[in-house]
A and B are shown apart, each in its own frame.
Chain A
Amino acid sequence: MHSFGYRLNALLTFAVTILALMCAIASLSDNFNTPSPSAEIQITNINWFQKQPQGNDEVSLTMNISADLQSLFTWNTKQVFIFVAAEYETPKNSLNQVSLWDAIIPAKEHAKFWIHTSNKYRFVDQGNNLRGKEFNLTLHWHVMPKTGKMFADKIVMTGYSLPEEYR
């Protein structure tokens, strides 16, 4: 600790190293959080269901999405990214996932919500397999931290189906 510059350098290096340690421990503390989220999606209306000129099926639907994701937030959470995906099986693909809607929840206060919306992104199939198709709607979330590890999970809701004929 021989000179002003030496001491300043030693102090700053040590301070930054300790800061990195604090952020690592903060991220580890997220593992103590046991979240208990809930969600429900109702399809209120199938707006239209057509076959595109290229041959792919497309459907437009309106949903009520309600969820309580407040327990996902910790002191180390910056935001939660959520999206709703329709999942179904076709002869060509064992799993198709089509993202219909997404949102960013910036704070715990906004994590308990209800929204009535049509699908933000187009629900288009690879082919024309959607008539009478049964599908799941899954709400995925990514808990983005201020520092450290990101946690992701989902709720699968089953029992949705599309009409037999185009409208």
Chain B
Amino acid sequence: MDWQGQKLAEQIMQIMLLGFAMIAFVAGYVLGSFQMMILLYAGGVTLTTLITVPNWRFFNRHPLNWLDPSEAEKYPKPQVAVSSKKKAIKK
């Protein structure tokens, strides 16, 4: 998952859970059935899990472009220059 995908997954999760909670509560209250509320909410949690937790492709629409290893080897990391520092202190 890329950064945009993570944000999207979190938003979808929060909205879906809150939405299902409200729907389940209203349905249970109107029907007079506590069990209906619990069943609807459990179904909602399962559905949300299936949509937001696995690493689906649509969460990776802005992929991060890591530098290719062969490119990185062409430009070696800079070395720490110890000798030049000692000269500056002596002055």
Interface positions of A (Cβ within 8 A of B): 1-2, 4, 7-8, 10-11, 14-15, 18-19, 21-22, 25-26, 29, 75-76, 146
Contacts of B33 in A (CB 8 A): 75
Interface positions of B (Cβ within 8 A of A): 1, 6-7, 9-10, 13-14, 17-18, 21, 24-25, 28-29, 31-34, 37, 41, 45, 48-49, 52-55
Q: Which residue of A lies closest to B35 (CB)?
A: A146
**Closest Cβ–Cβ distance, residue A24 to chain B (whole Å):** 11
Known: A7-B9, A11-B48, A75-B32. A22 touches B37 (CB 8 A): yes
Known A-B contacts: A26-B29, A75-B29, A75-B31. Give 10 more (CB < 8 A).
Answer: A2-B6, A7-B13, A11-B53, A14-B14, A22-B41, A25-B25, A26-B34, A75-B32, A75-B34, A146-B34
Q: Which residue of B lies closest to A21 (CB)?
A: B21
Do residues A4 and B52 form an inter-chain contact, with CB atoms below 8 A? no
Do residues B17 and A14 form an inter-chain contact, with CB atoms below 8 A? yes
Q: Which residue of A lies closest to B28 (CB)?
A: A75
Do residues B17 and A11 form an inter-chain contact, with CB atoms below 8 A? yes
Contacts of A29 in B (CB 8 A): 29
**Closest Cβ–Cβ distance, residue A80 to chain B (whole Å):** 15
Contact of A11 among B6, B13, B37 (CB under 8 A): B13
Most chain B CB within 10 A, of A1, A21, A75, is at: A1
Most chain A CB within 10 A, of B37, B48, B53, is at: B53
Do residues B53 and A7 form an inter-chain contact, with CB atoms below 8 A? yes
Q: Considering the chains assembled together, what is the distance between the CA atoms of A14 and B44 in angstroms?
A: 13
Q: Considering the chains assembled together, what is the distance between the CA atoms of A11 and B52 in angstroms?
A: 9
Do residues A11 and B32 form an inter-chain contact, with CB atoms below 8 A? no
Q: Considering the chains assembled together, what is the distance between the CA atoms of A22 and B48 in angstroms?
A: 18
16 contacts between A and B (CB under 8 A): A1-B6, A1-B7, A1-B9, A4-B53, A7-B53, A8-B49, A10-B13, A11-B17, A14-B17, A18-B18, A22-B24, A25-B25, A26-B34, A29-B29, A75-B29, A75-B34
Known: A10-B10, A29-B29, A75-B28. A4 touches B17 (CB 8 A): no
Contacts of A4 in B (CB 8 A): 53-55
Contacts of B25 in A (CB 8 A): 22, 25-26
Q: Which residue of A lies closest to B48 (CB)?
A: A11
Q: Considering the chains assembled together, what is the distance between the CA atoms of A29 and B34 in angstroms?
A: 12
Q: Considering the chains assembled together, what is the distance between the CA atoms of A75 and B38 in angstroms?
A: 12
Do residues A26 and B9 form an inter-chain contact, with CB atoms below 8 A? no
